[in-house]
A and B are shown apart, each in its own frame.
Chain A
Amino acid sequence: MKGVGKFSLNKKGSSWVKLIITGAVLLFFVYILSLLTYPAKNYFFTVSAPVQNFLWTAGASSSLYLGSFLNASSLAKENQNLKDENQKLLLRVYSLQSIDRGAQEFNQISAACQSKGFDIVMAGVVGLETNDILSINKGSVDGISEGMPVIDQQSVLFGRISKVYKNFSEVILLSNKDNVINVKVQRYQEDQSVPEGEPLPEINGVIRGLGGLSAYLDLVPINTEIKLQDILVTSAMEKIFSKGFLSGKGHQDTKGRPKTISTSRN
């Protein structure tokens, strides 16, 4: 009987030792894996790029088709065209307002928007990771480096390069939870509260990422009325983004709660 007791105790003890050794081996394995992150990710992204491109395009077109099928009343494609046109118009509105104010900064903004003084590298999106991080198909061999701003054709700011691999890069979107950027709220042109001819006051604030491809405008002065049509442009205070990139517009106005801004999705 004593022998049986001893045997079961030893068996229990050895199973604990086995469990600890297995756990240690697995943790070591995971540590080794983490060291291989850079070459492994670069290799798989390079190999998978054609398939990812195909799947990305297929997903975009099929979601467009599904969207138009589900919303029979409005064509999704037409909606997308209108959104693109709206973005161009918003930028145009902002440019015209700057001209009216006679601000010197306009030339810099315009130059930035029209890609003068910037070396622009065209890149394609190949994937969306968790925490609002995009993968693009250009890397260090294409001259990409960390911290570079990422914009679309209409100079709408998407985010900045957070990590560069040899053949691809990761872009941390504005909507990422860790992202905070300084912005200026550019009042909508037809603001009736300001007498005609007087410059529209600028409001400073910050855009904070909420995750899930959405963000909100924070740190705006109390009693400041912000309209849904107001647009947000970068103010370059954090010295990451250049001045004057369009970064969003008022999307949802909830009293007592921060305003959500709509960011562009590709």
Chain B
Amino acid sequence: MWKKIVAPILLFYFFALLQTSFFVHFSLFGVVPDLVFILYFGFTFYSIKKNQLLGNARVYEMVFLAITAGFFLDIFQLSYLGLSVLSFLIIGFALIRAQSALMNKDEGYPLSYFLSIFIISLLGYYLLLGLFLNYSSPINIFSFFSYKTFFSIIYDSLFAIVFFYLYRITNKINLPTRQLKLFR
């Protein structure tokens, strides 16, 4: 039980430090990888295998992850606590809804499925952050969408792919093959 609570807290704390102190030196066109978002998205995405599609346990887990990840991101990256928490909660609920709508109970998701949902979530995250940070002048939310968004998606997707395969290896998830499905 302690692993489920303490491990994510430590991981998100460490990744927030990494993102704001270490990876700022590896920015690509001024874009720093959103490690905390990638970790949060990955954990929420794969929480489906342990719980039901829309079960309460999954929602509670997502809320816990969103609060932890958002809290540390706000501490080290944004001026006000709560903005990332709120964004992560909205993204999390949308992700759970999307996965339940797609009804893919197979935990061996292909990379394309993972990546496409990741990119949509990332764009949603930028949109929400833009909205919260420019609440006084909502038109400015489009300033969050520039050519840098394009590089940001590519850069973050690279890290997300690394997470995808690392998670599969560490959790021993096999990639689904056509042959296996034929003889199921």
B79 pairs with A133, CB closer than 8 A: yes
A214 cross-chain contacts in B, Cβ below 8 A: 30
A129 pairs with B78, CB closer than 8 A: yes
Cβ-based interface call for A213 (8 A)? yes
A66 cross-chain contacts in B, Cβ below 8 A: 26
A33 pairs with B71, CB closer than 8 A: yes
Cβ-based interface call for A9 (8 A)? no
The one of B17, B79, B80, B133 that contacts A55, using a Cβ cutoff of 8 Å: B17
Interface centre among B21, B67, B82 (most CB of A within 10 A): B21
A177 cross-chain contacts in B, Cβ below 8 A: 143
Q: Which chain A residues numbered 215 to 257 have a C-beta less than 8 Å away from chain B?
A: none
Main secondary structure of the interface of B (DSSP, over half): helix
In the complex formed, the residue of A with least CB distance to B63 is A26
Q: How far is the CA of A58 from the CA of B21 in the complex (A)?
A: 9
Q: How far is the CA of A12 from the CA of B91 in the complex (A)?
A: 23
In the complex formed, the residue of A with least CB distance to B24 is A128
Cβ-based interface call for B77 (8 A)? yes
Cβ-based interface call for A126 (8 A)? yes
A212 pairs with B31, CB closer than 8 A: yes
Interface centre among B17, B25, B77 (most CB of A within 10 A): B25
Cβ-based interface call for B122 (8 A)? no
**How many residues from B make CB contacts under 8 Å with A?**
32
A51 cross-chain contacts in B, Cβ below 8 A: 17, 21
Chain B binder among A34-42, A81-89, A96-104, A112-120: A34-42
Contact with A along B18-31 (1 / 0, CB 8 A): 10111111110111
A170 cross-chain contacts in B, Cβ below 8 A: 79
Cβ-based interface call for B163 (8 A)? no
B81 cross-chain contacts in A, Cβ below 8 A: 33-34, 36-37, 40-41
A127 pairs with B20, CB closer than 8 A: yes
Cβ-based interface call for A130 (8 A)? yes
B79 pairs with A163, CB closer than 8 A: yes
A127 pairs with B80, CB closer than 8 A: no
Cβ-based interface call for A48 (8 A)? yes
Cβ-based interface call for B117 (8 A)? no
Interface centre among A48, A56, A170, A177 (most CB of B within 10 A): A48
B24 cross-chain contacts in A, Cβ below 8 A: 59, 127-128
A residues with a Cβ closer than 8 A to B are 26-27, 29-31, 33-34, 36-37, 40-41, 44-45, 48, 51-52, 55-56, 58-60, 62-63, 66, 126-131, 133, 135, 163, 170, 177, 211-214
A-B CB contact pairs (8 Å), 9 listed: A29-B67, A33-B81, A44-B75, A45-B76, A59-B21, A128-B32, A129-B76, A130-B77, A212-B30
Other than the given A135-B20, A170-B79, A211-B143, 11 more pairs (CB < 8 A) read A27-B86, A30-B82, A31-B82, A37-B79, A48-B17, A51-B17, A55-B22, A56-B21, A62-B25, A133-B79, A212-B30
Closest 7 A/B residue pairs (Cβ): A212-B30, A30-B82, A59-B25, A63-B25, A55-B21, A59-B22, A33-B82
